[in-house]
Amino acid sequence: MLENVLEYAPEVLEARKRNLPIVALESTIISHGMPYPQNVETAKEVESIIRKNGAVPATIAILNGKIKIGLSEDELEFLAKSKDVAKASRRDLPYLVSNRKNGATTVAATMICASLAGIEVFVTGGIGGVHREAETTMDISADLQELAQTNVTVVCAGAKSILDIGLTLEYLETFGVPVVGYQTDRLPAFYTRTSPYSVNFRVDDPDQAAQLIRTKWELGLDGGIVIANPIPERDALDETFINEVIEAALSEAKENNVAGKDVTPFLLGKVKELTKGSSLIANIALVKHNADIGSRIAVSLLK
Ligand code: PSU
Ligand code: MN
């Protein structure tokens, strides 16, 4: 069954044959995370950064019910432009595949597909987490459960403070997911290089990251690892400014009774609107930076 559902791009197929490092990329960030045309431009630039470092990019999505491991330029363009591609997390995959639909994969779904394709490293912007007031809404991203069980390393810029970062760390601790700072002791908060929280461990180069990842899996400890890589200094946003924006976005979400899988896209959209585009520039910069570090880690894992 699986071989009929998984479809590799030619470049990725070739990389598999030659045992080259492959880096997975998600597609929700393209369809629901950034506006057109910056979304497709960023997706292409991120792929080229990965290639420059000697790895092969595999952007993942569901198209006509096929799990695509690597997308063509036309497919990227389609995802970037289309208004009605479903946001696809773990629970959505069986429906989208069996009904031959399209879906843009979240962190959780991208981890699942990467793991099916034997890909160990995945680069994105930020992970989902425990939302603020989750004690009453029970809104906890499926990304966290995926990190608990699926063997893929996720390179990101930490978690946005649209979330309750403290509770997100508690959840990850319970499920045994190491949160590792890349050249930092503080957990980055996406737009800012720091947050009030520490990471669990720190690595300072790709080899140290690769050793930790390899060791976890050799010990039979299933599940992912978060590599938290701070946004470059020059692209970081002012902490007070972004926190005010996030508070405003959160109260609008509450007023509008936004729930379920619409919460994160709603908040991201509001933040973008209220920062008049400066959050988008920061977002693009941090994803590219993650692609650079993530592909170096993927190369190191194959040494
Ligand atoms: N956080 C971001 N940008 C994103 C997302 C999260 O800063 O694009 C997307 C990712 O695809 C992530 C998903 O997996 O939102 C989480 O959604 P939810 O909170 O509904 O699980
Ligand atoms: Mn949610």
Q: Given the CA of residue 108, which atom of ligand 1 is nearest to it?
A: 14
Cβ-based neighbour number of residue 91 at 10 Å: 11
If DSSP states are collapsed to H, E and C, what string results for the chain? Answer: CHHHHEEECHHHHHHHHCCCCEEEECCHHHHHHCCCCHHHHHHHHHHHHHHHCCCEEEEEEEECCEEEECCCHHHHHHHHHCCCCEEECHHHHHHHHHCCCCEEECHHHHHHHHHHCCCCEEECCCCCCEECCHHHHCCECHHHHHHHHCCCEEEECECCCCECHHHHHHHHHHCCCCEEEECCCECCECCCCCCCCECCEEECCHHHHHHHHHHHHHCCCCCCEEEECCCCHHHCCCHHHHHHHHHHHHHHHHHCCCCHHHHHHHHHHHHHHHCCCHHHHHHHHHHHHHHHHHHHHHHHHCC
Residue ID of nearest Cα to ligand 1 atom 3: 126
For a ligand 1 pocket test, name from 27, 92, 107 the mutation site with the most ligand atoms within 8 angstroms of its C-beta. Answer: 107
Please check whether residue 89 lies inside any domain of the structure.
yes
CA 303 to centroid of ligand 2, rounded, Å: 38
Residue 52: give its domain's CATH number: 3.40.1790.10
pLDDT at 99: 98
Closest CA to 230 of 155, 173, 166, 172: 155
- Is the CB of residue 106 less than 8 Å from the CB of residue 88? yes
- Whether 240 maps to a domain, the answer reads no
Residue 21 has pLDDT above 90, yes or no: yes
Above 90 in pLDDT, residue 139? yes
| Nearest atom within ligand 1 for CA of residue 34 | 8
| Alpha carbon distance 69, 3 (integer Å) | 12
pLDDT at 1: 84
| 128 Cα–ligand 2 center, Å | 8
Residue 109 near residue 88 (C-beta atoms within 8 A): yes
Digit-coded pLDDT (tens) for 83-110: 989 999 999 999 999 999 999 999 999 9
What's the pLDDT tens digit per position in 255-286? 999 999 999 999 999 999 999 889 999 999 99
Q: Report pLDDT for 285.
A: 98
Q: Among 27, 28, 137, which is best to mutate for testing ligand 1, by the most ligand atoms less than 8 A from CB? A: 28
27 is in an annotated binding site: no
Task: For residue 143, tell me if it sits in a domain.
Answer: yes
141 in a labelled binding site = yes
pLDDT tier for residue 2 given thresholds of 50, 70 and 90? confident
Is residue 70's pLDDT more than 90?
yes
Q: How many domains does the chain have?
A: 1
Please calculate the CA angle 50-87-59 and round it to the nearest 5 degrees. 15
Question: In this structure, is residue 97 part of a structural domain?
Answer: yes
| 239 is a domain residue | no
Tell me the residue range of the domain where 143 lies: 2-234+280-301
pLDDT at 3: 87
For 27-60, write each residue's pLDDT tens digit.
999 999 999 999 999 999 999 999 999 999 999 9
**Active centre residues (catalytic):** 26, 160
Residue 116 lies in a domain: yes
- Determine whether the annotation assigns residue 142 to a binding site: yes
Q: Is the distance from the beta carbon of residue 33 to the nearest atom of ligand 1 less than 6 Å?
A: yes
Residue 84 pLDDT: 87
Question: Using CA positions, which residue lies closest to atom 16 of ligand 1?
Answer: 128
Predicted TM-score (pTM) of this structure: 0.98
Mean residue pLDDT across the chain: 97
**Residue 76 confidence (pLDDT) above 90:** yes
* In a domain? residue 136: yes
Q: Is 18 part of any domain?
A: yes
CA end-to-end distance (rounded Å), the chain: 33
Q: How many angstroms separate the CA atoms of 14 and 263, rounded?
A: 39
Distance 30 CA to ligand 1 centre (A): 11
Is the CB of 106 inside a 6 Å radius of any atom of ligand 1? yes
CA torsion sign for 215, 159, 35, 85 is positive
**Ligand 1 centroid from CA 238, angstroms:** 22
- What pLDDT does 207 receive? 98
Closest by alpha carbon to 141, among 149, 131, 133? 131
The percent of residues above 90 in pLDDT, for the chain, comes to 98
Say what the pLDDT of residue 260 is. 95
Residue 198 assigned ligand-binding role: no
Residue at 37: amino acid letter: P
